Structure 1
Amino acid sequence: MPCKTAFIDAHTPGSDQKENFTIIGGGVSESPDQHVHIGIPHGFNIGAAGQPPKCRNSLHSHRTAEVFFVLKGRW
């Protein structure tokens, strides 16, 4: 179940089509509506994201590593 308002930039044109999924752990979602599949604290998070071509992401930083694997699509 995706959350379309997981991050503050999801409310700005060009960034409003992102989908965020949290599979293990709460992740970094900024939305209280984010559905977390396995919410038990593990010390790590596994999530997924989807967005159409040319959808923008705002610059941001994390205190931990963030790794992306592209499964399919085009930019």
Structure 2
Amino acid sequence: MTGFLDRAKEQAQSALNQGKQKVEEVQAQRAGTDLLKQLGAAYYAEQRGSGSAQATQNALAALEAHIATHGDGFLRS
């Protein structure tokens, strides 16, 4: 009986870890998408004369940092 409970506990822990990993992946994708939108908005504002090159560079740097940490998978979704 103890072996059964241990296996059930391991399976539950594994499922919990997989769920947490999936949530983290989705959050990283959403963050990447948001950063990409911010870059687009900063670039648009710069081209229209209401934004600055520095704001565009900051948005690009934030996006590149996110890609370095989480990869660029969100670009293909």
- TM-score between the two structures when normalised by the length of structure 1: 0.24
Larger Rg: 2
Q: Which has more helix, going by share of residues? A: 2
Give the strand-richer structure, 1 or 2.
1
- Give TM-score scaled by structure 2 length: 0.24
